[in-house]
Amino acid sequence: MLIAILEDDISQRELLSYWLTIAGYDARAFAQGQVLLNAMGLEKFEMLILDWNVPDVAGIDVLKLVRQHSTVPVLFCSGRDAQEDVVNALSEGADDYLVKPLRRMELLARIEAVIRRSRRTHAHSEGLRIGNFEIDYLDQTIVRDSIPLKLSATDFDLAVLFLQNFGRVLSKRHIAQAVWPVTSALSSRTIDTHLHRIRSKLELVPQNGWRLKRVYGRGYKLDQVRPVGSLSLLEQWSLSLRAKL
């Protein structure tokens, strides 16, 4: 597996390269963001490890440019530990965020977790339809009633989490672990803000057949709202399964 490392500190760059190599990965290290971007046009990297503060194109800007055309897994490793920096990177599409100083075993565990998550996502290459929503896992897009929705990477992950688990109460801890691996960096209010945003972007309101609501003391729940006499999605799926049997 080919992993690109963006790190301007030579000792850190060499250490990361060594850790990845002895773990069985093929590592390419870069000191400048633009050099990494140029290399991405020549080589197919299967994962990126980005530092924030590097010469020319900063790690966060590399991430933004990459997310315009690629879903390659991205792990941020930075000395910037402010909550707003962590949330910013995750909102822009980073899959995980580690604060320096790095620890070898934790780094390797996070890399493996990001890879597993990415492979699960790409396994759904045919997409999925849930109610009036069509999910494309490869392109990370959602279409509602034939209208493409403009979603960030975090919006997409949250929307998919709730659509795949509609009818179930999801605790904030479960939501954070599923969407943001660095749960300690997220406040309850931050999660509330993101959920308010996807409720608005997906129009999860009763008029459209959905209700995303807060279950006090337990978490959040996405319910299907249906006219009297109509079948719910679960009932439709049950009838469909019985017909096949």
2-122 CATH fold: Rossmann fold (3.40.50)
**Global model pTM greater than 0.75:** no
Percentage of the chain surpassing pLDDT 90?
41
For residues 51 and 111, what is the distance between their CA atoms, to the nearest angstrom? 15
Q: Break the chain into its structural domains and give their ranges.
A: 2-122, 128-244
Burial class (CB in 10 A: 0-12, 13-18, 19+), 34: middle
Q: What is the pLDDT of residues 34-50, one digit of tens each?
A: 999 999 888 888 899 99
For residues 189 and 179, what is the distance between their CA atoms, to the nearest angstrom? 15
For residues 7 and 76, what is the distance between their CA atoms, to the nearest angstrom? 10
Q: The CATH number of 128-244 is which of 1.10.760.10, 3.40.630.30, 1.20.950.20, 1.10.10.10?
A: 1.10.10.10
DSSP readout, 89-110? HHHTT-SEEEESSP-HHHHHHH
Report the side by side order of strands in the sheet with 219-224.
Answer: 169-170, 219-224, 210-215
Q: What is the pLDDT of residues 140-169, one digit of tens each?
A: 789 999 899 988 878 888 998 899 888 888
